Amino acid sequence: MTKLSHIPMQIQKWIASLAHLFFLILGLIGISLMYINGNFGLGLTGIGSVPYEDTAEFNTQFNNDLNDIFLYMEYQDVFGADSSIDLSRRMLKMTFGPSETENFSLSSLISYLESMGYQLDDDFNCQKVSEPADGVKSREGYVEWSVQEPQRIYSYRSASRKRSTLEDAAVEIMDTLHRYYTVYNRFVANPSNLHFKIQYTEPDSDQSETTQFTNTDSLTPENVKEYGRYAYLPGNSVFYDTNMKAIPLSSISALASNNPYTGSDYYLLIGIDTNYPVTDLYARTHTAYLHRQHLYLTGFALTIFATIGLLLSFLFLFRVSGYQSYRSFDVTLHGFDKSGTETGIVFFAAMTAIALVVSDLILIRILHLVIPSQYWYFSDHSLQALVLYLGGLLLFFSLLRRYRAGTLWTSSLICRIQKKMLILKTRQNFRSRLGIGFVLYLAINTALISLAWYFWDRVYANLYVVYLLTGLTVLVFLLFNLWIFYILFRQASEQESIRDAVRQLSAGETSYQLDLDEFDGPELTLAEGLNNISSGLETALQEKMKSERLKTNLITNVSHDIKTPLTSIINYVNLMKREHIEDARINAYLDVLDQKSQRLKTLIEDLVEASKASSGNVKLEFTDIDLVQMAFQTNGEFEEKLDARHLQLIINAPREPLMIRADGRRLWRVLENLYNNVCKYAMEGSRVYVDLARVPGNPETGTAGQAVFTIKNISANPLNIRADELTERFVRGDVARTTEGSGLGLSIAKDLTELQKGQFSLYIDGDLFKAQVAFDLVEKTTEKAVEDAEIIEETDAAEAAEKPKKDDELKKTNISEEATIQKEVNGESSENAINETINTTENSRNE
């Protein structure tokens, strides 16, 4: 491109356009050279691989010559075996009336035809060149005998007599005479590449009388094969020897019908010298065949070269169309490019139609003056294709410039109609829009179909103009329906996108956003509304998550900061109790300190646990657990606490195990919180009911069976609160801050249950409190459940065996704490002592 930068862009465009036109004409010439080739239809595979003797042209010529040879045999006795002919020989006998019968010689027939305006050449080729002479009339009668059929005599009384005019009978005789002498001159009088010999032999004659017709006396069945192409047809056999592609069956019957003797002692020999030493029709057609093959290759090469040139010039014009330089992307429109898109299309279509009419009236007639008639069809259609191509090319580049300038759609009539329809669409309700749109759709389709029919059936103009107008109308009809389909398809796609967005939002994908560039009309309003809803939900969710993180961090940090001094307080209280203080009031103070510090420790642990459970920051280890066995173990653990409150535990459980998939440690914490809640808030001296049940699933809906744990008790105080509020943090009904509860137990239990994919429910009916935990059942055999129960018992036994060791370690920890406090009393650094105590306590707890 740099080398061409000094040439103005407009000149480059003109050069490329002329080059494109040159290559287009060159391509038409190349296609024409291939089309006029006699080998047309075989393609490149026929070039050089198909000899002339295997072509249809050669076979047709051979069959015609074979028929002419039989014609020569038939008329040899009539017209003579040499080039001389007797003009006085009788040629025709006709009857014109009851007693008017005349014989006509060759000279009299020639004189009569000349008086009728005919002209004859040396080969008796008869052509009418003028009107009959004055006083000469055409005569009509019955043909009694004609040289055309020398073996047949027409009887006056025969029903098959041939009625004809003297003129027609004479012309037929001259045509036969012309064909005879043409064959005679080609094959007998002059040298020829075709050699033939037909011989008939009288089988009953002692002297072996023979009759033969030949142009080569030395031709035999042996030497005929030396000519390249040959045929030997014996009369005494159904088989014949030939290397021709095909021998016409009529040759066998003609050979037999011309036998002057009885029997089948005859044969036909014919050979064609494929070296073509004689310049006859075969040699000339062979040379023309080779020449056409060279023309085909030349045309093919020209077509390839022209195609490459067309492609390169088209790509160049495509690149620079509308631009004034290679670096500038400012599009320049021509005058007709600034009109409406449909107007431009109609303009170029009209110009193309006018060009077709002009080419049909003028250019095609000029071509007929210089092109042979057998190629008129191809030349006419080539010229029409050239006009259509140039018109389509100009239209294409006009549309390309409009597209690059951004006016292809905006300046179109369809765009303006769509905008008006869109305004109408947004102002009307759905039923009105549908009704108006359907009526307009039917009206436009009806108008286009009627217009196409009118152009096709009622417009009497040039055939190509009718085709063009009808085709354009059908094209507009198809484009209109495709546009309607596109609108319906786009609306369906937009509605599907909106439905998908609703599904995403309902599934919790609050960050889902629709691309507003893909919508228009009412769907755009819906998409904007959904995006606003999604943004609002996402903002609210982010704020909620931020608040939850702040709460969790606050609880964790505060709990950690309180836990360190609290450990020291608990240890100091324990040390003071071991001093055996005799003052009862001081002991009472120590008991209160111990009780409140333990409660504060429990509250801190519950806070940390609640924070982890609510945020999901809990590592779960799922195993198969028997819920029945877990419930009985929990009953045993809380037996003393229940007895201390005089609570009677009544359990209702099935005999078979209820196997669930859960984390054993977290499930124990859930049950522990529920039992602790009962021990703290149940009415003293009342009964506590624990029920375990199997709830079957529904195979039709695909729901699995569940194991349900239920605990019920009567509250010691009135429950003036909703059931769902009890699972919130720091809620304990009206007994807030008057009992030892922290207000976090039920919240922790609910969060841990849901983390394990279970369901946690609370029910309140008056003073009746009921908590329910449900997990999906795991299908396991009873034997397997028993094995799991045995494993759990062994684990409990192992933990019981480890308990003395843990007690000893705890004792060591307490001794270490006492030593630390003693050091502090003796005046050592309190800060170092407290840090040592905290580290010792934490290590013991970790162990």
Write the class of the CATH domain 620-780.
alpha beta
Instruction: Name the stretches of the chain with pLDDT < 50.
Output: 152-159, 730, 732-739, 781-786, 792-793, 795-796, 799, 803, 806-807, 809-847
Written as one string, the DSSP assignment of 750-818 is HHHHHHTT-EEEEEEETTEEEEEEEEEB----HHHHHHHHHHHHHHHHHHHHHHHHHHHHHHHHHHHHH
In this predicted structure, what is the pLDDT of residue 824? 39
Q: How many CA atoms lie within 13 A of 203 on its CB side?
A: 9
State whether residue 616 is helix, strand or coil. coil
Written as one string, the DSSP assignment of 346-412 is HHHHHHHHHHHHHIIIIIHHHHHHHS-GGGHHHHHHHHHHHHHHHHHHHHHHHHHHHHHHT-TTTTS
What confidence tens digit (pLDDT) does each residue in 218-257 have?
899 889 989 989 999 888 877 788 888 878 777 878 888 8
**Is the model's pTM score more than 0.85?**
no
In this predicted structure, what is the pLDDT of residue 236? 80
- For residue 789, with 0-12 CB atoms within 10 Å meaning exposed, 13-18 middle and 19 or more buried, which class applies? middle
In this predicted structure, what is the pLDDT of residue 749? 84
**Cα–Cα nearest to 108, from 193, 43, 166, 188:** 166
Instruction: Please give the backbone phi and psi of residue 94, each rounded to the nearest 5 degrees, phi first.
Output: -135, 150
Domain ranges in the chain are 325-411, 414-503, 620-780, 790-847
In this predicted structure, what is the pLDDT of residue 316? 93
State the alpha helices, DSSP H only, in 638-683: 639-644, 664-681
Strand bridging mode 210-214 / 118-120: unpaired
State whether residue 120 is helix, strand or coil. strand
**Cα–Cα nearest to 615, from 700, 518, 681, 544:** 544
Q: Which two tokens stand for residue 767?
A: 């003073």
What confidence tens digit (pLDDT) does each residue in 51-70 have?
888 888 888 899 989 888 88
Q: How many CA atoms lie within 13 A of 244 on its CB side?
A: 25
In this predicted structure, what is the pLDDT of residue 683? 92
**Cα–Cα nearest to 728, from 714, 701, 705, 749:** 749
Instruction: Please give the backbone phi and psi of residue 553, each rounded to the nearest 5 degrees, phi first.
Output: -65, -40
